[in-house]
Amino acid sequence: MIIDKLENLEKYYALNPLFKEVADFLKANDMNTLSTGIHKIKGDDVYVNIQGAKGRTRDEAVVEYHRQMVDIQIPFSGTETYGYIPVADLPPAEFDEAGDCALVPEAAPQSYVTCSPGMFAIFFPQDGHAPLITDESVLRKAIFKVKGLKGEELKG
């Protein structure tokens, strides 16, 4: 997991060259006016889901993880807190291969981090995360999905 300011996203290109596609998209688009829904950037390798999602409390948030895709999550309308727990510490869960997601509602995060507008959080396949913890009734945010590098995918 990485938490940083958007202005520093280019410092992470070495981790995955597709992160540059995300940075270029952010520079070319006004995220506050982009329509809700999925916008393809580079086929199925890079896309963004613009959401207006209901805020949750820490108790309501559900831990999730992905095997194929890396999440770059960016809140726009307010702060967002994310629960964190390594996937290796999670109990077994049913994994939706088509949706590249497992939900683990019985898991409790081990720690929490908060992003304000102008910041991002990157979650890799080894990072269990519980998003949408916020006081906002509806949080406007972007979730960039970036294909993981070969060998980066989570096994098991």
CA distances from 52 to 70, 78, 98, 141 (A): 20, 11, 23, 7
What does the block give as tokens for 61? 């948030």
Confidence of residue 61 (pLDDT cuts 50, 70, 90): very high
Which distant-in-sequence residues (6+ apart) come within 8 Å of 18 by Cβ? 42, 45, 46, 146, 147
Confidence of residue 156 (pLDDT cuts 50, 70, 90): very low
Is 90 exceeded by the pLDDT of residue 122?
A: yes
Is 50 exceeded by the pLDDT of residue 97?
A: yes
pTM (2 d.p.): 0.94
